[in-house]
């Protein structure tokens, strides 16, 4: 697709799918990170007598699923940490940033944390109900409805680490739903957002099967979901989000306030957004890591 075709498709549909924009070798550090954590987890449990096998002959897709199957658990989140140089490289992938520049302009930050998805077989809690990503930013408290970021354009990048299929629970989107505005919804006790509206009656859902090397780009208002993984393997993926850097991007007052909201929310959580596109200063990995550590320290000391 040409740059113009990418922009046109995204503006029309609220998302665009691009194949082969990430080199396979660029995804290896994330896979290696996951493999090392899963290996350590299995060794710890095996040594404690809680696991009958290390499952070390299992594939990348199957090993963690096999461990969780034996333990009879279905964790919602990846809980083995995530911060490292891999993320800095991921947020700065040239193929991704080319598209981000087209969609968000020249002063852009990554919010600083990704979502690494284990998407285990049969897990219902990770078949996220229809939502807009703004709803997750805006609502922290169960049951409470808040709206802060409906007037800000942010971009989610969803990247499969294994092939995502309809069977293993790929994403689904509703084309054109980014023009519906920020809809009502609230977090449930399971921390998943649920919409009030029957969005399937309003638009036509489209599945987004995707091979590693491809990426789904969608707006913070695009209505999307993923369904239950009906296979025996994990559907590993990672998604991360970009927004206009509040103090540098040309924004309306409403959008600037929303961008500040995002930045402050991240800082309050000990997370430092990373400037990835700028006419000014772009932090090195070392500078970002130092700022991140200082923010974590500040958060701990209250």
Ligand X SMILES: O=C(O)CCC(=O)C(=O)O
Contact residues for ligand X (CB under 6 A)? 115, 117, 119, 128, 133, 156, 158, 169, 171, 224, 226, 237, 239
Q: How many CA atoms lie within 13 A of 89 on its CB side?
A: 12
Cβ proximity to ligand X, 109 vs 156, nearer residue: 156
What's the closest the beta carbon of residue 194 comes to ligand X, in angstroms?
Answer: 13
Cβ proximity to ligand X, 196 vs 286, nearer residue: 196
What's the closest the beta carbon of residue 44 comes to ligand X, in angstroms?
Answer: 27
What's the closest the beta carbon of residue 279 comes to ligand X, in angstroms?
Answer: 29
What's the closest the beta carbon of residue 235 comes to ligand X, in angstroms?
Answer: 7
Measured CA to CA, the distance from residue 242 to residue 41 in angstroms comes to 31
What's the closest the beta carbon of residue 233 comes to ligand X, in angstroms?
Answer: 14
b (16+ CB within 10 A) / e for 207-222: ebebebbbbbbbbbbb
Closest CB to ligand X: residue number? 226
Cβ proximity to ligand X, 213 vs 283, nearer residue: 213
DSSP single-letter state for residue 180: G
- Residue in 268, 218, 272, 212 with CA at minimum distance from that of residue 241: 218
Cβ proximity to ligand X, 153 vs 248, nearer residue: 153
β pairing state of 108-110 and 171-173: unpaired
Instruction: Report how far Cα 73 is from the mean position of its chain's Cα atoms.
Output: 23
Contact between 196 and 137 under an 8 Å Cβ cutoff? The reply is no
Cβ proximity to ligand X, 256 vs 265, nearer residue: 265
């Amino acid at each position: 697709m040409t740059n113009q075709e990418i922009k046109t498709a995204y503006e029309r549909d609220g998302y665009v799918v691009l194949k082969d924009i990430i080199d396979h070798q660029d995804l290896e550090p994330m896979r290696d990170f996951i493999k090392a954590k899963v290996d350590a987890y299995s060794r710890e449990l095996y040594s404690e007598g809680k696991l009958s096998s290390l499952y070390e002959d299992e594939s990348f897709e199957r090993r963690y699923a096999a461990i969780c199957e034996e333990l009879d658990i279905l964790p919602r989140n990846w809980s083995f940490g995530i911060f490292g140089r891999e993320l800095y490289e991921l947020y700065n992938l040239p193929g991704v940033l080319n598209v981000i520049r087209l969609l968000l302009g020249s002063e852009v930050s990554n919010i600083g944390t990704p979502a690494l998805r284990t998407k285990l077989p049969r897990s219902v809690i990770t078949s996220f109900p229809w939502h807009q990503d703004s709803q997750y930013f805006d609502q922290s408290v169960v049951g409470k409805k808040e709206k802060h970021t409906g007037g800000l354009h942010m971009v989610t990048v969803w990247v499969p680490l294994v092939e995502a299929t309809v069977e293993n629970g790929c994403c689904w989107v509703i084309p054109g739903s980014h023009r519906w505005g920020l809809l009502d919804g609230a977090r449930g006790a399971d921390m998943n957002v649920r919409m009030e509206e029957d969005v399937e009656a309003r638009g036509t859902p489209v599945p987004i099967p995707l091979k590693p090397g491809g990426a789904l780009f969608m707006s913070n208002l695009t209505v999307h979901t993923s369904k239950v993984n009906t296979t025996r393997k994990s559907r590993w993926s990672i998604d991360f989000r970009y927004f206009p850097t509040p103090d540098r991007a040309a924004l309306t007052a409403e959008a600037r306030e929303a961008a500040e909201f995002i930045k402050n929310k991240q800082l309050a959580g000990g997370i430092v957004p990373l400037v990835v596109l700028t006419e000014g200063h772009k932090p090195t990995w070392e500078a970002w890591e130092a700022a991140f550590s200082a923010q974590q320290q500040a958060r701990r000391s209250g």
